[in-house]
Amino acid sequence: MGLFTRLPSVRLSEVGSKEQIIDVREPHEFSKAHLPNTRNIPLGKIADFESQKRVYVICASGMRSRQAVKVLRKKGIDAINIKGGMIGNGK
């Protein structure tokens, strides 16, 4: 994937309440505030993540989640970036 490859992205408001969301911020960031039912897997450990289901990925601003989505999609995981991260979605 090139630098400007378009990755699938959605706003947080488009993600259903039953969807699997991964937060790739560091544990100290996650502990301060996070979405309900969100799993914390820091970006540095995302390559070890496995899933058969679609996953939505969030971070603080959307930059780390984009990187994580690239890694997960290369592994064949249906991963979608949450645009704007926690900051851009008013969290």
Number of folded domains in the chain?
Answer: 1
pLDDT attached to residue 5: 63
What CATH number did the domain enclosing 46 receive? 3.40.250.10
Q: What is the mean pLDDT of the chain?
A: 92
Cβ neighbours of 10 (radius 10 Å): 13
Can you give the residue range of the structural domain that contains 46? 9-88
Query: Is 2 contained in some domain?
Result: no
- Is residue 3 situated within a structural domain? no
Per-residue pLDDT at 10? 95
User: Is 4 contained in some domain?
Assistant: no
Kindly state whether residue 77 falls inside one of the protein's structural domains: yes
6 pLDDT tier (thresholds 50, 70, 90): confident
Residue 29, domain member (yes or no): yes
Residues whose CB falls within 8 Å of the CB of residue 48, separated by 6 or more in sequence, listed in order: none
Q: Residue holding tokens 């979405």?
A: 35
pLDDT in tens, 13-51: 999 989 999 999 999 999 999 999 999 999 999 999 999
Q: What is the pTM of this model?
A: 0.92
Q: What are 72's two structure tokens? A: 């997960």
- In-domain check, residue 79: yes
pLDDT at 91 over 80: no
d(CA 4, CA 2): 5
Burial call 27-66: b when 16+ CB within 10 Å, e when fewer: eebbeeebbeeeeebbbeebeebeeeeebbbbbbebebbb
Residue whose token pair is 């930059």: 63
